[in-house]
Amino acid sequence: MAPLRISFLIRSVYNLLPSNANLVRWGKKDHPTCPLCHGRQTTEHVLSSCKVALSQERYTWRHNRVLQELASVISTAKGQFNPPLPSFTIFTTEGGAKKWRRRSNTAST
């Protein structure tokens, strides 16, 4: 994971992101007001509970961007690791004996 993403994750868990509420707490701002809904802008508010952001589908957009990133990473990893398929399948009979069948549908035991 990229260092900036790790930093964001840690700061969000420990409520150290520069939300307006934190900026007021740190003496950097006078009001903790959310510019979208004018409620109190905490980290939780920014990340998941601003009603204006919700109505504008900003959370959906962010959610979809995360999924796109995951799909991209999985697709890249899948392209790099593409193990060859076995040329046969092993079947086990009721008696426990193993039978081998080639993928070309020509049976061999």
Binding residues for Zn ion (CB under 5 A)? 34, 36-37, 39, 50
- For the bound state, the minimum distance from the C-beta of residue 42 to Zn ion, rounded and expressed in Å, comes to 10
Name the residue nearer to Zn ion (CB basis): 37 or 47.
Answer: 37
From the CA atom positions of the chain, what is the Rg in Å?
26
User: Per DSSP, what are the bridge partners of residue 92?
Assistant: 98
Cα–Cα separations (whole angstroms), residue 38 to 18, 32, 101? 17, 9, 68
Name the residue nearer to Zn ion (CB basis): 61 or 100.
Answer: 61
Name the residue nearer to Zn ion (CB basis): 32 or 39.
Answer: 39
- For the bound state, the minimum distance from the C-beta of residue 27 to Zn ion, rounded and expressed in Å, comes to 22
Cα–Cα separations (whole angstroms), residue 84 to 14, 80, 81, 88? 45, 12, 10, 12
- For the bound state, the minimum distance from the C-beta of residue 14 to Zn ion, rounded and expressed in Å, comes to 21
